[in-house]
Amino acid sequence: MGVSHWLNTKNSAVDLKEIKAIIDLMKKNSLAEFELEEKDFKIKLKRPIGMVSSPAGTMVEDPELTAFAPLSRQLASSAAPVSAASNGDAEIKSPMIGTFYRAPSPDAAPYAEVGVEVGPDTVVCIIEAMKVMNEIKAERRGIITAVVAENTKPVEFGQPLFRIRPI
């Protein structure tokens, strides 16, 4: 079964035009990897960054992408990786590429402010990716010491969002 046959099924969550648009965005932004998970659908695209040798011996950009078939229903992971910062504080990092929102709506109070104590299951922000709002949890107990990301601005995978002092 070819990739195009798989993408054109009635149950697919993403059509071929959307895949091509994602590939174009990956090339434009020099992204090596893209992953999307929705209900019963998961797609992961990988693209080598850099140049490879062609059969003719010349160097060309390798546009090859790898697509994986839908998997059984899995919940999208909203776990935010936490790493140590130089001053003893940890960082809550973005688990995905998207738009960072500190509050559930423009007129609502932010989820987390500097000085607020949070627990592992406390939602600290939302990251919008592909029109899906993903709640990001603190994943540890601590006190927010800094908000690093800017509200309503794009964030990258692994980019620090908050600094947190473990307690």
Instruction: Classify residue 47 by its DSSP letter.
Output: -
Claim to verify: residue 99 and residue 38 sit in the same structural domain: no
Domain assignment present for 123: yes
Domain assignment present for 98: yes
* DSSP for 109-139, written as a single string: PPS--TT-EE-TT-EEEEEEETTEEEEEE--
Confidence of residue 160 (pLDDT cuts 50, 70, 90): very high
Which of residues 61, 95, 110 is at a domain's end?
Answer: 61
Claim to verify: residue 30 and residue 97 sit in the same structural domain: no
What pLDDT is stored for residue 49 in this prediction? Answer: 57
What pLDDT is stored for residue 50 in this prediction? Answer: 53
Bridge partner list, 144: 164
Q: What is the mean pLDDT of residues 143-165?
A: 95
Domain assignment present for 75: no
């992971």: which residue's tokens? 77
Claim to verify: residue 105 and residue 162 sit in the same structural domain: yes
- pLDDT tens-digit series, residues 97-121: 999 999 999 999 999 999 999 999 9
Claim to verify: residue 50 and residue 123 sit in the same structural domain: no
Claim to verify: residue 33 and residue 88 sit in the same structural domain: no
SS3 state of residue 21: helix
């998207």: which residue's tokens? 98
- CATH code, 122: 2.40.50.100
Query: Within 10 A of 33 (CB to CB), how many other CB atoms are there?
Result: 14
Claim to verify: residue 49 and residue 111 sit in the same structural domain: no
Q: Which domain holds residue 115?
A: 82-166
Q: What is the mean pLDDT of residues 17-42?
A: 77
- pLDDT tens-digit series, residues 34-74: 777 777 777 778 776 554 444 444 444 444 433 333 332 33
What pLDDT is stored for residue 74 in this prediction? Answer: 34
Q: How many separate domains does the chain show?
A: 2
Claim to verify: residue 86 and residue 159 sit in the same structural domain: yes
Domain assignment present for 43: yes
Residue, of 55 and 24, whose pLDDT is higher: 24
Claim to verify: residue 20 and residue 89 sit in the same structural domain: no
Claim to verify: residue 99 and residue 160 sit in the same structural domain: yes
Claim to verify: residue 55 and residue 116 sit in the same structural domain: no
Claim to verify: residue 102 and residue 56 sit in the same structural domain: no
